[in-house]
A and B are shown apart, each in its own frame.
Chain A
């Protein structure tokens, strides 16, 4: 999530720069250009160079230990012909869509709720925030222990309906993964929506009240439209972030039972580091990059052509 958070800050920087005087001397622009050097350096070293490495490896045969040999297009043919790839792709998109459908309404409502100024709401906001402080591995280990069919929560509290084979039945395991991801990431998106709601001018609501709009009407006609870009930002982070769900699923199910939670990122890891097939794993890494690019561009388009226009026209 860390890179997602840092990119989320970028629009703010951009906005600040655009406010600068356009007619100012070129010297200032040159100074500003120098300021991008550290960021560029990190981007090149940690993104572009390894990316090129992965692209090269996707045409190589390498077990991760011995010498690297050439495989030509062999890796690509074998991966693209492997039904495992399409299973992983399907699961990745299924988890992506389900995560969005589950997380967006919950975090939107919680964000609106916690944006209120009452004390108890602030206290609850702190509680909601807690899961974000835990590492994915810790969350996964905790849920695994709680859901153990023989020694877990169900036996401890005497709740027989909880005594399902949560991680052992394919569709239950998949549902559980979606639930745990939501449990972990809803707080983050709640925070984004909370900030978004607090930026909406009070005067809009005051005007609506004078016109006789109730809470529900205010939500649908003021809050929701005003949150348009917040929703796009949050959705982008959710959708692109779902490509990287790895640690949680790896610890929780390891891709099992069978292949029922083996998403693309996990498939890449298991092929590369368990089966010692670095070439095919690199092919999947390249596919992940392409999907990520396509998704980000698509979501950016959703914002519409007037995305730079203000939503506070006339305020």
Chain B
């Protein structure tokens, strides 16, 4: 099998090309850092298997974030064909990476994307001239590119051999130890060399030759270092490109001191090369347009965003969503449920079997599957924000505001992604610049309402608030966001202080919406959601039904209060009494909901034996139902489900991304917050405002005291406070 790596700067169209070549539906967006982990897909062409790998965007092999490190490792070590996708509109910066690959003697092909837009704006590019410097150059349209042998006509190679030879050889280590004294002297020599040579790099030879030492802009450095520092050419080239494996601190320091000179030399080379190949129209800017004068006004952006947000929620939950859901429900009953149930009624009289299918199988997922249109609409609205290029503008406008909470502008993308799926957005926290920022964004993510909680809000809010449920749902989204921001601010003041909050964000151009892409997003998410419902929801729903209909003698029981699950739920129900949720059915739903939030609704429908969403809504208000609420306990339930615990897949990603400690920290922190706020709202509605105010006051004092103590005990090193400056 031949591997094909799709490499390039962020937002140049790698994932779009990946989708075109492999006929996939990988997540794409008009924003920097949409892809955070590599995606692989095997495609057959002329009886040969090709594994396409879509990598996260990378500006340079000197990596800056975790996602770039992932790309770098794969680029350097995998034996593959490399397709370097570059944007015609920012060729110089894009070709910087090409130069690095060339220095490492890696075979690659340059695919120039976005060329139509480039030409349309009056710019010109001499491809033949570019071919002289980089042998394989081709123009592609990432959206329409078709897989062909011509596209992949390139020898595959890797630097694994050189990499192994130079960096995993223990002899080298011994050699460096032995020559430590000598190296110190060399270092002194190179410090002088560096000082003298600063700003005097001259580029004469524009022809690349295969021998690494002949690469003109590096030749001078390599010759000098080789003769004085006892490093091989390959080691030097690797070190120039950010691979310092098995080099000692002094050597790394030395190479790092040289890096600015090398970068300048590379850009000098690129400038000269492009002066004969590229003609850019005067005042041409890629990314910034006239509309930005208006859009970057904070008032316009914030008002515009909230108008879009409120309109989206209205459309999803109250306008188009329920109508389509109703059609779906009718069709599903007519074509699937009714025929199967009729068949069962006529063929068997076994109560258990009939109950199992009607209540255990169909009830558990019909109440969820009817939310399919709403879920699709939610993702379509998020895609509109992503594809249009608005998110980058929001990131810039909101950066100052989010910095106050220890986040940065880019966090807005992660927050918005969380509205779709918390697990995906936790993974997206990888594109944060610093470790603390990454942990913080990952920890606050589960507070954002994801699409799995959407059915719970609609059902419970509709049952108790009728037409006013719109405001309840909007309130829940805003409450989640507020709690996330406050948590981030507290973490920033205590254990996760930001030391590096720099926002380098490339502005993409504003783009027209692609209806076909929106359709594809809707379709992909519909398939994912259906698969999830038929997989997780249905299988766990069946287990829940069995546990709620089986007693300790392992016999079928219609009285749920005799069942195994209710027995255990009742034992812990007292813990939920202060927040008004002491019913065993609710406790079951909350516990099962940790597996996946969709299971909360399916468990409620199994408990109340509700065959449809409408039946479940009406059953929740009846005191005769197994699970029922009053207004206060309904509010408490909604707040608790919003905040209480990430789902199991999110926990797995949290553990992988930020470690076991922070995973447990997230669980405890969220349970505490959920309990506290549910308690405050429940007690406030039932017993007046005295108890909630006292509770909030005590909680505030505890948080401030803890913050103060942690700050005193563990003061992170910074460059801003007087204490650290003195030290």
Do the two chains belong together in a single complex? Answer: no
